[in-house]
């Protein structure tokens, strides 16, 4: 018997990376009914307009998530919430009224995810963030993620996570992100895993283990277990511990291991670039621009003056003059397309150029011209913000099998 469709709410939707990936896995199972995308302090809402142009069959909201009322949220009966949320400061403090009330910093969007989870009570959540989340903040490493684990534990959820570099699992971009799968403890999936010990979930039976296999031994023996104290403010103030690239938390206890991926053959830049006949001349560099890139990508030592007035030497190591066409692309940033050190620069038949917007879409696994509702500058920006959709497709396919 086939699974019932999962009604999905996509938050921080961008140009629809989660939806593209999940619908590619199973269009009839993953049905996005609601989506929200809002770019604060910007009059033009390019990402929302792009999303809305592709998906006409869902309720697409262009609103500050914090402004969504409880009454409106109660009308959203989503089975699953997905989204790539911003990396911010997740610390909490006692509310002014004291007691057990807590107060997160204003504008921290993770607490909106928790608010929505309390109201909607989805079966599952699938979230994505930069991998440094697991080690933040620098002065209390692991605290932010421990706060997140505690928040979901308080709501009765099990949390699995894994850092995945898309290129290590067949992707075209060396993009490392942490993917977080959260399941309500009363779902058959969470109950099935509840009888399996943590190591077996991490290495063999969990959502990520089966789709993104790792070697059987921790990297440099790095593994840790812990129990979250019940007071989330105590965690915020005093958490000490290690959070590694893979782990599971249930009933307030967690195991985390620095795992080593079993790598697959990556897609190379050579395989995704367009034929020369399709490339507009505006993407090619003249001699002056080539020289600027040579400087930007080369080693340098520059004397600078700090805000306090003392002088120091800023140094930067060199990188290859152009990106190797026989390797997958480097991590794409929102500044892709501008003349800066992080921009991809390729040489084809003796001519230097940057990547085209279509090639950037391919690095993330989007269909060609997905973002053609925008200017080139915003297309690059959108792809720098996006996730690799092929990873989401594989997660969706595995979740379907596990359900």
Question: Half-sphere exposure (CA, 13 Å, Cβ side) for 76?
Answer: 30
- In this structure, the chain runs to a length of 403
* Contact residues for 179 (Cβ-Cβ < 8 A; gap 6+): 126, 127, 128, 161, 162, 163, 164, 208, 391, 395
> Is the CB of residue 134 less than 8 Å from the CB of residue 120?
no
Read off φ and ψ for residue 178, nearest 5 degrees. -95, 130
Query: Are 247 and 202 in contact, with CB atoms under 8 Å apart?
Result: yes
Give the DSSP letter of residue 266: P
Quickly list DSSP for 312-352: EEEEE----SS--TTSPBPPP-TTTTSSSTTS-EEEETTEE
Q: Using an 8 Å Cβ cutoff, are 66 and 86 in contact? A: no
Asked if 306 and 322 count as a contact pair (C-beta separation under 8 A), the reply is no
Contact call for residues 29 and 52 (beta carbons, < 8 A): no
Distance CA 343, CA 350 (A): 19
- What Å distances lie between residue 355 and 64, 257, 279, 346, 358, CA to CA? 33, 37, 9, 7, 8
Catalytic residue among 68, 87, 155, 189: 87
First-to-last alpha carbon distance for the chain, in angstroms, is 11
Long-range contact set of residues 283-288: C-beta below 8 Å, sequence gap at least 24: 283/353, 283/354, 283/355, 283/356, 284/351, 284/352, 284/353, 285/345, 285/352, 285/353, 285/354
DSSP conformational letter for 34: E
Question: Does the annotation mark 87 as catalytic?
Answer: yes
| Angle, alpha carbons 248-128-50 (nearest 5°) | 155
Helix (H) or strand (E) holding 204: none
- How many whole angstroms separate alpha carbon 297 and alpha carbon 353? 14
Return the structure tokens found at 342: 């992080």
CA-CA-CA-CA dihedral for 34, 177, 147, 75, to nearest 10: 0
∠ CA 269-273-276, nearest 5°, is 140
Q: Which residues are catalytic?
A: 87
């Amino acid at each position: 018997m086939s699974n019932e469709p999962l009604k999905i709410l996509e938050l921080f939707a961008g140009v629809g990376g989660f939806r593209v990936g999940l619908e590619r896995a199973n269009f009839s199972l993953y049905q996005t009914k609601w989506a929200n995308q809002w770019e604060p302090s910007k009059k033009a809402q390019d990402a929302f307009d792009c999303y809305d142009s592709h998906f006409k069959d869902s309720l697409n909201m262009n609103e500050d998530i914090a402004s969504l009322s409880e009454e409106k949220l109660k009308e959203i009966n989503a089975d699953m919430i997905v989204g790539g949320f911003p990396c911010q400061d997740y610390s909490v403090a006692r509310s002014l009224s004291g007691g057990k009330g807590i107060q997160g910093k204003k504008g921290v969007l993770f607490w909106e995810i928790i608010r929505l989870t309390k109201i909607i009570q989805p079966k599952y959540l699938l979230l994505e963030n930069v991998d440094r989340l697991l080690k933040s903040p620098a002065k209390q490493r692991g605290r932010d993620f421990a706060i997140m684990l505690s928040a979901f534990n308080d709501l009765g959820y099990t949390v699995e996570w894994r850092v995945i570099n898309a290129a290590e699992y067949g992707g075209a971009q060396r993009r490392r992100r942490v993917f977080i799968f959260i399941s309500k403890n009363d779902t058959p999936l969470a109950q099935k895993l509840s009888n399996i010990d943590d190591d077996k979930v991490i290495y063999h039976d969990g959502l990520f283990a089966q789709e993104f296999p790792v070697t059987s031994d921790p990297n440099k023996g790095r593994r840790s277990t812990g129990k979250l104290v019940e007071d989330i403010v105590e965690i915020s103030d005093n958490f000490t511990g290690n959070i590694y690239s893979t782990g599971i938390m249930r009933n307030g206890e967690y195991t985390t291991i620095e795992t080593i991926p079993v790598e697959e053959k990556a897609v190379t830049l050579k395989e995704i670039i367009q034929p020369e006949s399709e490339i507009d001349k505006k993407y090619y560099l003249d001699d002056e621009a080539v020289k600027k890139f040579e400087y930007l990508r080369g080693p340098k030592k520059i004397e600078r003056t700090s805000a306090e007035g003392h002088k120091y030497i800023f140094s930067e190591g060199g990188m290859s003059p152009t990106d190797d066409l026989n390797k997958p692309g480097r991590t794409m940033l929102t500044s892709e397309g501008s003349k800066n050190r992080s921009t991809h620069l390729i040489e084809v038949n003796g001519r230097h150029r940057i990547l085209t917007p279509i090639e950037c879409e391919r690095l993330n696994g989007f269909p060609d011209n997905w973002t053609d509702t925008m200017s080139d500058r915003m297309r690059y920006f959108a792809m720098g913000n996006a996730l690799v959709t092929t990873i989401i497709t594989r997660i969706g396919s595995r979740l379907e099998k596990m359900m």
